[in-house]
Chains A and B, each alone.
Chain A
Amino acid sequence: MRVTFTVNGRRQEADDVWEGESLLYVLRERLGLPGSKNACEQGECGSCTVRLDGDLVCSCLVAAGQAEGRDVRTVEGLAAEDGTLSPVQRAFVDAGAVQCGFCTPGLLVAADDLLARNPSPSDGDIREALSGNLCRCTGYEKILDAVRLAAARTAGTVDA
């Protein structure tokens, strides 16, 4: 089948899609957008997190056909057109929240979504919002630091 949807503001089309393919597979293998990661493909780890019409979803659990005509935002769409990193991207690098980095794209999309809803989250809010994203390297401390830093920089309470 053919699937057509918008990814990061750009119309995309994939042909010869097998009906069983996930949105994650089509993004990674057919559209050349491998930023969303395939750590479990069971909806448990959050590394494939994207926004579908604004809602956070595990793209591994969305059939590609379900994305037909809809708006998908992936990690590749977080930075500005000129490559300027978004606040959460910059903060993840600066705070040491990236080690192997495999969980990072999903965490960034989830953290970006959190800060859009709640610009000054408490630690409890951050933990709750990111509890669907597994990280095996960091012990999460630097990830908390990064989200706090992104929030503070956006609020202007620390230097960007």
Chain B
Amino acid sequence: MTPPRPGAGAARDRTEPGTGSTGLTPAGLTQGAGATKGGIGESTLRPDGVLKVTGEFAYASDLWHEDMLWGYTLRSPVAHARIVSVDTSQALATPGVYAVLTYDDLPAEAKHYGLEIRDTPVLAHGKVRHHGEPVALVAADHPETARRAAAKIQVEYEELPVITDEASATGPGAALVHEHRTDHYAGHVPHPNVLHRQPVIRGDADAAAARADAIVTGEYVFGMQDQAFLGPESGLAVPAEDGGVDLYVATQWLHSDLRQIAPVLGLPEDKVRMTLSGVGGAFGGREDLSMQIHGCLLALRTGKPVKIVYNRFESFFGHVHRHPARLWYEHGATKDGKLTHVRARIVLDGGAYASSSPAVVGNAASLGVGPYVVHDVDVEALALYTNNPPCGAMRGFGAVQACFAYEAQMDRLAAELGLDPVEFRQRNAMEQGSVMPTGQVVDAPAPVAELLRRVKARPLPPERQWETSEGPDVRALPGGLSNTTHGEGVVRGVGYAVGIKNVGFSEGFDDYSTARVRMEVIGGEPVVTVHTAMAEVGQGGVTVHAQIARTELGVTAVTIQPADTRVGSAGSTSASRQTYLTGGAVKQACEAVRERVLALGRRRFGSHHPAWATAELVLEDGKVVTDGGEALAALADVLGDEAVDVELEFRHRPTEPFDLRTGQGNGHVQYSFAAHRAVVEVDTELGLVKVIELACAQDVGKALNPLSVQGQIQGGTTQGLGIAVMEEIVVDPLTAKVRNPSFTDYLIPTILDTPTIPVDILELADHHAPYGLRGAGEAPTLSATPAVLAAIRQATGRALNRVPVRPEHLTGP
């Protein structure tokens, strides 16, 4: 039995060559066989699928190395305290312990890291700012030895009052979470405990409000959601002879990690070599560092490979969460159902460290009105520094919280006007050419009304599906196998929602991806190798890269190299951006390879056939083919012994920062839209909800792999369902301590909680994007939540201004 080795889990797609065309020479011309099999638009299967079903795929937590030690992180048991003293002597004296590290052991001048603002200490120094903050590290020969040694580290804390909400953060005399801020947001925020504030002001909301026939106002609360990826934070750091370190880790963005890791290790970036190991889901939660620096520090100190694997309890402290939020909205409309104005204030809790909060604020502010045409807007969004757990990226990224609130408002306003909620949305729906509250013109299809029409037109699931000839099937009822009802008190409700999400990194960020593509002849067959640093986290990027290479280069055999830092940055696997950006980079690199291959062909065979000079040439089925379908040469002959190899960077069109006072600016790259219809059944006596169906319609521009796109939409929908009815990290408001860091107490939907999710995919091309595609991963997470809430409101008649909805919100007076 061979234990897994570092790197063995990296996605490796060696598709067997198909029916090649060896021996074809310019003298033996045949017709081209048409588009190469396995290209874009087909539901080709995952290249790592077989490894994943046999158990051979090596995830980060599976890595193993001869002589390996186990790392362990000692974390703060309190949310806000001065560290009076740290005594590691007993821990160090424990047999089997190789190293115990604290802040004083950090080797370089840089001792902080962070995605944008480097405000996060590698290990706490003088103070802890949130429950679970790392204080010390242990390396030992067994994980239990490490855990027990860590328990012997004596840390004396002097607890400080906790800052937990806007009142305690910005009220008179509030203590500062971070003193002496020097980050580039510090200059414009109204209070040092406000991390970033972004207004979006357009038109004259006050004047518009005077024209409104109906105005609704509401306050909404959005709970703290966890990404709850199943593969815990893990990695293996191996010290190298050159004084550097090789790090195998599950992450979302290798190069962003690298830029944060190298300075605190005191190493140049080329001495920190990173390879992606198998990633068990991410959803934003791996955008920030977890064990990366800690593992490297222990490996460099001990001279031995060190593996760190969080358990689920630690995982809840090991990554940032989705920002909980309070949102105030005022919507007005005329009696013919046209929105007059929107005023909103969105307060996001960023927790103790910055993470990606500034960008989340930018999204909440700029997308806070939703996919509607509103000329007069006054929105502000801000993120607080508090002593709550740090919050950052999660699927939907700032657009999710706002969508929950503005869609509740749209329903209330429709009711106030006596209009059908879908009809009211359609009257105000954005379309191509509409102007965002930021002033940005939506210059690609925006089929908001059509998406709503499609989910509404779908037949409703039959009533009382729990009835069978053998009596009620309780599995189909609220309460399920708890057998709490046989249909008594069960009321059905139907609700609709639609949302808007940006794709790619916004606000002027230089968002690019790098791809290296190589074509050569191996064993007489043309073979393409694609090398990027894209983090495959389960989304299927590796599948799509091979499809793109087949389409562009007409070669069946495509090998996907493991992702590592030997190739340029691919950017983050987030913001629904990887198919657009790294897919775009692979496409562009393939196009460059094709040009060089054709140039080679012209040099070698151009004199044999006039079409080499006159026709549009494509690569199909291992051949060079004219646009008329005439084959000119086999790629194997064109290439001979030569390899064609191209590495290039691909960028989407540039964006601009939002104006700090008005929020005006062409801040986003692309917009993505999805709509949901939820059908729920509520046991109104017990407050139990069963979601029966959650239908989604989404425009994806072009589905490069329809099966994967459906999987993204169904998965995103289910995460939206989770925050609607069950998921919440409960933070004690008095102590700022996390009360439910386990899958026993933090519930995510099981297969019994999850309904049928029919998916209707539109493909309206965005001509700015590769193949017209539109990033697909996030939009369904937005509208699922408000659709479920609307359905529960219809069933119960209750206002329901917070998610998740709990039984006590649905029962009683």
Contact = CB atoms under 8 A, between A and B. Distances in A.
Interface of A: 18, 20-21, 28-29, 31-42, 44-45, 47, 74-76, 78-79, 85, 89-90, 92-94, 96, 98-105, 108, 124, 126-128, 130-144
B537 interface: yes
29 contacts: A32-B1, A34-B55, A34-B59, A38-B232, A39-B280, A40-B742, A42-B312, A44-B312, A89-B50, A93-B49, A96-B45, A96-B46, A96-B707, A98-B46, A100-B537, A100-B538, A101-B52, A105-B55, A108-B53, A128-B481, A132-B750, A134-B748, A136-B227, A136-B283, A138-B718, A139-B716, A139-B717, A139-B718, A141-B756
A93 B280 contact: no
B711 A41 contact: no
A35 to B, nearest CB: 2
B309 interface: yes
B252 interface: no
B231 interface: yes
A133 B230 CA distance: 11
Contacts of B43: 96
Given A32-B4, A85-B50, 16 more contacts: A32-B3, A32-B64, A34-B55, A37-B231, A78-B53, A89-B53, A90-B53, A93-B49, A100-B280, A101-B57, A124-B476, A128-B752, A133-B750, A134-B743, A136-B229, A136-B719
Contacts of B282: 100
A41 B54 contact: no
Contacts of B58: 34
B539 interface: yes
B149 to A, nearest CB: 14
B475 A127 contact: yes
Contact of B715 (A94, A128, A137): A137
Contact of A42 (B280, B717, B743): B743
Contact of B281 (A75, A100, A133): A100
Contacts of A141: 710, 714, 754, 756-757
B144 interface: yes
- Which of A44, A74, A133 is the most central at the interface, judged by chain B CB atoms within 10 Å of its CB? A44
Contacts of A18: 142, 144
Given A18-B142, A31-B1, A142-B711, A99 B540 contact: yes
Interface in B290-314: 309, 311-312
B288 interface: no
Contact of B54 (A44, A85, A138): A85
Nearest to B142: A18
A131 B481 CA distance: 11
Contacts of B1: 31-33
B578 to A, nearest CB: 14
Interface of B: 1-4, 43, 45-46, 48-50, 52-59, 61-62, 64, 142, 144, 227-232, 278-283, 309, 311-312, 473, 475-476, 481, 537-540, 707-708, 710-711, 714-719, 742-744, 748, 750-752, 754, 756-757
Given A31-B1, A45-B743, A140-B754, A99 B53 contact: no
Given A34-B4, A40-B743, A41-B311, A99 B715 contact: yes
A99 B52 CA distance: 9
Contact of B312 (A41, A102, A144): A41
B750 A131 contact: yes
Contacts of A135: 230, 751
Contacts of A44: 312, 742-744
A40 B55 contact: no
A139 B3 contact: no
Nearest to B750: A131
B374 to A, nearest CB: 32
Contacts of B283: 136
Nearest to B720: A139
8 closest A-B pairs by beta carbon, nearest first, are A35-B55, A100-B538, A102-B280, A101-B52, A139-B714, A44-B743, A139-B718, A34-B62
Contact of B55 (A36, A94, A100): A36
B279 A100 contact: yes
- Which of B4, B475, B715 is the most central at the interface, judged by chain A CB atoms within 10 Å of its CB? B715
B550 to A, nearest CB: 19
B751 A98 contact: no
Nearest to A74: B55
A38 to B, nearest CB: 6
Contacts of A36: 55
A92 B714 CA distance: 16
Contacts of A128: 475, 481, 752
